[in-house]
Structure 1
Amino acid sequence: MAEINLIDIRRHLHQIPELALHENQTHDYLLHIIGSFNQENVTISGIEALPTAILVRIQGSNPKRTIGYRTDIDALPIEEKTNLPFSSTHPGIMHACGHDVHMTVALGILHYFTEHQPKDNLVFFFQPAEESESGGRLAYEANAFSGTFKIDEFYGLHDNPSLPAGSIGCRMGTLFAGTTEINIDLTGKGGHAAYPQNANDMVVAAAQLINQVQTIISRSIDPIQSGVITLGKIEAGTIRNVIAGHARIEGTIRGLTQSMIELIDQRLKDICHGIELSYNCKVDLELNQGGYYPVENNSALTKDFIHFMKNNSDVDFIETKPAMTGEDFGYLLSQIPGTMFWLGVGDDSSLHTATLTPDESAIDKGVNAITSFLENRMKE
């Protein structure tokens, strides 16, 4: 098999991070690498509505299904502080979520199957805009996974600094929470601080709304389940002796199931309506979930995945707890059955930090574990 240097590839990708929907240099480099592979059974395609996306299909030798594998390709608006010799060359942008590792592992798996024709068809999806803009949903709504690129089951990983390098983590049920952005605008009437009877104070209304929102989790949600509401930003008023006629609150919802998120959404709508009536004001609530659904792993496929990883002597498998972080692979899993899992990268720094330095030894271990799983899956 022709060799490729995955460490060199990862380091080059790390140097050229780009933000959601602007991954042009990344796209071109990925195409260059993919184009160097054996093309005998390979079809490469794009998505017109998502120009930086890449789809790669490998024709199976005796296909019974088409298996999808997804990797995200965008980066974050963070100034890198690792002092690595291959640090980001794009000021203020960094692969602080490890998508450079994700892409490299995907390329390693893809390269293997271009040299060893799979039994089933394989589709690799190099996805833009995971960190924002819901690239997975955009691709699905653009009918990217239709025709010869129709996928029967989908897999994808996320790196995890808190797990040992090269280990595989997974769980039945929800791996990542779903997220929804909250924007609330309260409009009343401004006025002089000395004459509150002539105004309608939105600081008071906002304070009451915030207090009531805190009861949603404690009094409307089953305590055995999990949900989070954080209102992290509030703006109101201009000066101490003027009553504010407007206030804006911004926050986020996290839930482990889509039904949980929808319940929280409804309770938030109810409270906003109550504040309108109680304070004779206008309350505009905007809820933006986009494609950031909970990552709810398919029961049968995930059971099979965990069984294989647990019984593979070359794999360090760890059963993990659900995480309240968001991932837009959740939207794809709401449409196509599949499994998301962790790849340990053993680092003291957390995801989304300027000092994230994944252990590169995880790359080969990840490629080997996943290619072994996919070959085993194709036997079934």
Structure 2
Amino acid sequence: MANNSIDLIQVRRDLHKIPELALEEFETQAYLKSLITSLDCPFLTIKEVPEVPTAMLVRLAGSQPSKTIGYRTDIDGLPVEEATGLAWSSTHPGKMHACGHDIHMTVAMGILAYFANHQPKDNLVFIFQPAEEAKAGGKQIYDAGALTGDFAPDEIYALHDQPAMPAGQLGSRFGTLLAGTTEIKLTITGVSGHAAYPHQAKDALVAAAAFVTQVQTVVSRNVSPIHGGVVTLGSMHAGIADNVIPGEAQILGTIRAFTQTDLEMMQNRVRAVAEGVGLTYGVEIDLVLHQGGYYPVENNPEITTAFIDFMNDNPAIDFVDVEPSMAGEDFGYLLSKFPGTMFWLGVGDPTHSLHNAGMNPNEDALQPGVDAMTAYLEWRMDPQAQGKGTAS
């Protein structure tokens, strides 16, 4: 068991009480910084990012470094009113760590605290990243040039909690773990008119209905059946009365795919459908497709082989192979820049999904998550141990 100088459960509960939305995580950052400085580690350096003021990077200098290993955790919450009834529920109305980023941060702090007390052989860089749920904080940190020089990782890791898996179980896979995503925002502008005189109007609602129907073929007739993809339209608004032909309609949705190539192809097909609807119905089309930093989370083959082999061979770790998920995560952008691996950590709440107001992760997952990653990172930093196989 890792010898941590922090109380994992207390840290998790403290963080759970103070969820903050994207790029507003100042209280969270201050709390984390207070924990990190309390470690009083002589080989630890904190770096802030002026362009992304709630971000924080922490570097632990290695004793005999041959590379720099990155570990990223996201720190933002969601605009969800908590309904767990826990004594450590959110103290911020309308905000909750409903995606488990409090779990993510706590595991990261446990790993950091361990290596602050046991100097790593290689350099370690911990990335406390804001704005995962919105505004692509990972891309913002990268674009700001923060992950350069001494803070540039040669490889990078991250976890995401998974309520459907038993507490403390880990899972990952070769290839894509989580999908890349693109937001759809479509505004259709026609000409409003009286319901009795449709020939004098250009019906935006009918055009919107045609778009909704036609985009259903983007996946079924363009994406390979063995690849997978999603086009989901979650919002459509048009009209104000039963006897008025609406002159405007708005549609919101999402495109998701397991590869960037498929995602870009699907974006092009959605554009083509929208343009065709505009020509067919004589309406104006304003289509915005926004991907930002939400790339597919594509695990690096070589690093993932080492990661999975270690986890499978270590009898103290409960590890399983998992299927890919259509959920999105902006860690995919960092994986497009640095080779690495993302994995699931089971938190044992099968009755509540991620983003659910009642999600209540089992805190028994915290120590196994810390122990598995500290053991893996120590092994990863020791070429002789890797040459002999996985240590038990």
Query: Aligned partner of 2:55: which letter?
Result: A
Is 1:232 the counterpart of 2:234 in the alignment?
yes
User: Aligned pair 1:277/2:279, yes or no?
Assistant: yes
- Looking at structure 1, the residues matched to 145 and 271 of structure 2 have their Cα atoms a distance apart, in angstroms, of 32
Are the equivalent residues in 1 in contact too, given 2:168–2:364 (CA < 8 A)?
yes
The residue aligned with 2:345 is 343
Deviation at 1:129, TM superposition (A): 0.7
8 Å contact kept, 2:5–2:114 = no
Structure 1 residue 194: deviation in Å?
1.4
Indicate the SS of the match to 2:53. Answer: strand
- Contact 1:38–1:115 (CA under 8 A) maintained in structure 2: no
SS of alignment partner, residue 367 of structure 1: helix
> Residue 374 in 1 paired to residue 353 in 2?
no
Point out 4+ residue stretches in structure 1 off by more than 6 angstroms: none
Shift of 1:38: 3.3
- Structure 2: state its 5+ residue gaps: 384-392
Corresponding position: 1:157 with 2:168: no
TM-score by length of 1: 0.98
Work out whether residues 63 and 122 of structure 2, in 8 Å CA contact, stay in contact via their aligned partners in 1.
Answer: yes
% same residue: 57
Q: Is the 8 A contact 2:4 2:114 kept in 1?
A: no
Matched with 2:387 is none
Specify the code of the residue in structure 2 equivalent to 1:254.
R
Unmatched 5+ residue regions in structure 1?
none
Amino acid at match of 2:27: Q
The secondary structure found in structure 2 opposite 1:94 is coil
State the Cα distance separating 1:3 from its structure 2 match: 2.9
Distance 1:7 1:200 in 2: 60
Tell whether 2:324 aligns with 1:322.
yes
Give yes or no for contact 2:189–2:249 (8 Å, CA) kept in 1.
yes
Amino acid at match of 2:252: E
**In the TM superposition, what whole-angstrom CA distance separates every residue of 1:270-311 from its partner, at most 9, and x where no partner exists?**
111111221222111100111111111111101110000000
Looking at structure 2, the residues matched to 161 and 275 of structure 1 have their Cα atoms a distance apart, in angstroms, of: 41
Residue 287 of structure 1 aligns with an amino acid whose one-letter code is: L
* Paired positions, count: 380
CA shift for structure 1 position 232? 1.2
The one-letter amino acid of 2:337's match is Q
Amino acid at match of 1:25: E
SS at match of 1:248: strand
1:352 corresponds to: 355
| C-alpha distance 356-2 of structure 1, shift in aligned 2 (>3 A) | closer
Aligned to 2:335: 333
- Give TM-score, length-normalised by structure 2: 0.95
Partner of 2:109: 107
2:84 equivalent in structure 1? 82
Partner residue, 1:123 = 125
Give the drift of 1:374: 0.5
- Could you list the per-position Cα deviations for residues 26-73 of structure 1 after superposition, in whole angstroms to 9, with x for gaps in the alignment? 110100000011321111110011111110001111111100000011
What letter corresponds to residue 168 of structure 2 in structure 1?
A: G
Letter in 1 for 2:232: T
Q: 1:2: Cα distance to partner?
A: 6.8
Separation (CA, whole Å) in 2 of partners of 1:88 and 1:190: 46
Q: Distance in 2 between matches of 1:96 and 1:280?
A: 44
Deviation string 1:245-278 (CA, Å, 9 cap, x unpaired) is 1111111111111111101000011111111221
What is the aligned partner in structure 2 of residue 43 from structure 1? 45
Q: Distance in 2 between matches of 1:58 and 1:336?
A: 19
- Root mean square deviation, CA, Å: 1.0
Instruction: Indicate the residue corresponding to 2:250 in structure 1.
Output: 248
